[in-house]
Amino acid sequence: MNLFDVYSLWNIEPVRAKGCHVWGRDGVEYLDFYGGHAVISIGHSHPVYVKAIQDQAAKIGFYSNSVINGLQTDLAEKLGEQSGYPDYSLFLCNSGAEANENALKLASFHTGKKRIIAFSGSFHGRTSGAVAITDNPSISRRGRDLRSRKRIYATA
């Protein structure tokens, strides 16, 4: 089986990383300004992060989100304290597309409005709602009339 051809790829295969440095399979070292979409902004292979992942994986790696997860409630409490918004609710999800999709839904529930302004040339993920506000025909879904929605794009 081949990997589905989602994006054109740079000819780099990172196999190791430490802090802000990444090493390719060919041994070339790169200074990494990427930060993994801010997902790994503490740097690669930080020892506290590595130990926390190792310890947790040795205890329990996954369970349904329909049971109590003390790690999630601890995270919500810490984020509430550190952000200064302890009364807000935390919505946890697995991907950028899911975050954007739910942000769109929450905004429309809150405002009652049906129209969304999106930047032209932007990318929001590959779920239906995220694609529906993206002006790139190469990622738009075919077979469903998402394009008939009123669209307004802003240019930066």
Ligand X SMILES: Cc1ncc(COP(=O)(O)O)c(C=O)c1O
Applying CB under 6 A, which residues contact ligand X? 37, 95-97, 100, 123-125
For 73, the 3-state DSSP assignment is: helix
Between residues 22 and 134, which has the closer beta carbon with respect to ligand X?
Answer: 134
Query: How far apart are CB 117 and ligand X at their closest, in Å?
Result: 16
Between residues 5 and 26, which has the closer beta carbon with respect to ligand X?
Answer: 5
Strand ranges inside the chain, DSSP E: 14-18, 21-24, 29-31, 117-119, 152-154
Query: How far apart are CB 130 and ligand X at their closest, in Å?
Result: 7
Between residues 7 and 67, which has the closer beta carbon with respect to ligand X?
Answer: 7
Question: What residues does 17 pair with on adjacent strands?
Answer: 22
Between residues 138 and 148, which has the closer beta carbon with respect to ligand X?
Answer: 138
Contact status, residue 17 vs residue 23, Cβ threshold 8 Å = yes
Q: CA 90 from chain center: how many Å?
A: 15
Amino acid at 81: E
CB closest to ligand X, residue no: 96
Query: How far apart are CB 125 and ligand X at their closest, in Å?
Result: 3
Hunting for tokens 């295969």 — which residue is that? 13
